[in-house]
Chain A
Amino acid sequence: MAEASLPKKSLPKINKVDEAYWQGAAAGKLLLQKCKDCGKLQFFPRIVCVDCFSGNLEWIPASGGGKVHSFSWVRVPRNPAFKEDVPICYINVILDEGVIMESRLVGTGIENVKLGDKVKVAFQETANPEIKLPVFELAE
Chain B
Amino acid sequence: MRRKKVCFVGYGSTEYSRKSESPLLWYYAEAIRNALRQTGLHKKEIQGLSITTQVSPDYSPHVAEQLGLEVDWVLNGDYGGSGGVMSVRRAADAIEAGHVELIVLVGANSFDKSVPQQRLLEYQRANYIDVYGYGGPNTLMALIQRLHMEQYGTTLDQIGKIAMAQRENALNNPQALFREPMGFQAYLNSRMISDPIRLLDCVMPCSGAECVILASEEKAKKITDKLVYLVTDAEKSHYQVANMLPDKTTFGTKVVGERIFTEVKRENIDLFEIYDDYPIAVMIQIEDLGYCKKGEGGKFVEAHDLTYKGDFPVNTGGGQLSVGQAGLAGGFLHLVEALRQLRGEAEGHQVKKAERALVTGIGWLNYGRNLGTTSALVMERRK
Contact = CB atoms under 8 A, between A and B. Distances in A.
A22 B46 CA distance: 31
A71 interface: yes
Interface of B: 21-23, 25-26, 28-30, 32-33, 36, 42-43, 66-68, 112, 114-115, 118, 122-124, 126-136, 138-139, 142-144, 146-147, 150, 191-197, 241-242, 244-246, 248, 367-369
A14 B131 CA distance: 12
Contacts of A91: 143
Interface of A: 9-18, 41-44, 46-55, 69-79, 82, 85, 87-88, 90-92, 94, 98-104, 115, 133, 135
B194 A73 contact: yes
Contacts of B246: 100
Contact of B244 (A53, A72, A99): A99
26 contacts: A10-B130, A12-B126, A16-B23, A16-B112, A41-B244, A44-B128, A46-B25, A46-B68, A47-B29, A51-B43, A53-B29, A55-B33, A70-B146, A70-B147, A72-B142, A73-B194, A75-B194, A78-B135, A88-B135, A90-B133, A92-B248, A92-B368, A94-B245, A104-B132, A104-B133, A115-B150
A44 B300 CA distance: 36
A87 to B, nearest CB: 8
A49 B44 CA distance: 12
Contacts of A82: 133
B318 to A, nearest CB: 23
Nearest to A133: B131
Nearest to B115: A15
Nearest to A52: B43
A47 B134 contact: no
Contact of A55 (B26, B68, B127, B130): B26
A7 to B, nearest CB: 12
Nearest to B68: A50
Closest 7 A/B residue pairs (Cβ): A50-B68, A82-B133, A72-B142, A53-B43, A73-B195, A15-B114, A12-B127
A78 B132 contact: no
A50 B241 contact: yes
Between A51, A72, A73, A75, the greatest number of chain B beta carbons within 10 A of the residue's beta carbon is seen for A72
A46 B124 CA distance: 10
A47 B244 CA distance: 16
Given A73-B195, A88-B133, A98-B244, A16 B144 contact: no
